[in-house]
Amino acid sequence: MSTTLSVRLPEELAQWVEENARVTGRSQGSLVKDALEHVRQANASKPFLALAGSVEGPRNLSQRKGFSRV
The pTM for the full model equals 0.58
Which of these, 63, 64, 58, 5, lies nearest to 32 by C-alpha position?
A: 5
- SS3 for 61? coil
Instruction: Report pLDDT digits (tens) over 9-51.
Output: 999 999 999 999 999 999 999 999 999 999 888 877 777 666 7
67 pLDDT above the threshold of 60 = no
Residue predicted with more confidence, 11 or 62 = 11
Instruction: Calculate ∠ Cα 34-50-32, nearest 5°.
Output: 15
Domain boundaries, the chain: 21-46
